[in-house]
Amino acid sequence: MTTDDFRRLDLGFFPTPIETLPRLGRLLGVDLSIKRDDYCGFGGGGNKVRKLEFLMAEAVDAGVEVVITTGGHQSNHARMVAAAACKLGMQAVLVLRGHPPTEYQGNLLLDRLFGAELEFLDPVAYFDLIDGRMQAHADAAAAQGRTARIIPLGGANALGALGYVRAVEEMADQLRQTGAPPPDVIVVPVGSGGTLAGLLVGCRRHWPATSAVGISVSRDSAWFQDRVSKMAGECAALMGMPDTWRPADVWIEDGFVGPGYGQPSEGGNAAIHHAARSEGLLLDPVYTGKAMDGLFHLCRNGDIPAGSRVLFVHCGGSPALYPFAQALIAGQPMP
């Protein structure tokens, strides 16, 4: 069974390119390349497009009129759900962690442009309130005679993870066409776990010698190991695979979160500058900058050995650069 056996909408522009990063690779002592899922086009791009191709197909088949989801202020996932809802004639409701903004910038601006209904929850009370608030929106839609669907944080469930099983299928085909070997290590930001779960399943099937490491941008490693191992097993079951994962099988690095989810870190900001000035590559302070910081650390301390073939998954997020402009330029000399 392949991902072609599942119902999917064509939302993104695939395959996205795999690009070499020779200058950064020399700095780190590895053969570095990047999967440009920021180039997938639809709704501002990013890894959530792959997940939503499956999740929104299920919603269309169920006659859904209102989709409800959640995320942080600068959630790529929330922005992509809003864009997909527009394309499919649905209403999006986004329940976001954080106080109402004084100005709408980055992904919040795009959420507004896509016509999403926004609700903001106090960041401390968020975890106690979020499930009830999303259900309240679903109940309100039902009371109006409209079919609603709650899409989980980050699109992270077994069905959404199929998007990154498909990404490995795509990458394996791309490398076969060029005669390049599979990577030794795939590095990806982890905010909700679905992308890493799909990569684990895809690698188990197509690149069994490849390791996948998730750089946490939000939670501790134990939480993710438990969550991702279960999700990978459920996704594999959808594919008819008998494979399972224990929490200890899931490689998570959680030392690069910084002050917290959605808050820039010193190391992440430095990585953003390195990538921009060495490769003309745009990363963001919420996801990819922190993941690149993690990659720098893993290469420098030998967890990723010198000379390894490393593939970094760019999960998008450049709209989140702009709300953090002052933090990114503070203390940086003019070129």
Distances (CA, A) of 137 to 56, 85, 118, 149: 18, 16, 11, 10
What φ, ψ does residue 315 adopt, rounded to 5°?
Answer: -90, 15
Distances (CA, A) of 244 to 195, 237, 241: 17, 9, 9
Spatial separation of the C-alpha atoms in residues 320 and 79, rounded to whole Å:
11
Cβ atoms within 10 Å of 222's Cβ, excluding its own: 11
Cβ atoms within 10 Å of 279's Cβ, excluding its own: 18
What pairing do the DSSP bridges indicate for beta strands 91-97 and 117-121?
Answer: parallel
Alpha helices in 32-191 (DSSP H): 48-61, 76-87, 107-113, 126-143, 158-178
Cβ atoms within 10 Å of 313's Cβ, excluding its own: 26
Question: Which residue in the list 33, 75, 265, 318 is annotated as catalytic?
Answer: 75
Dump the DSSP string for 88-110.
TT-EEEEEEESPPPSS--THHHH
Spatial separation of the C-alpha atoms in residues 152 and 158, rounded to whole Å:
11
Instruction: Let me know the angle formed at the C-alpha of 299 by 176 and 321, rounded to the nearest 5 degrees.
Output: 85
Distances (CA, A) of 189 to 6, 83, 136, 180, 252: 26, 22, 31, 24, 10
Radius of gyration of the chain (CA): 19
Active site (annotated) includes residue 221: no
Dump the DSSP string for 268-297.
HHHHHHHHHHHH-----TTTHHHHHHHHHH
Among all residues, which ones are annotated catalytic? 75
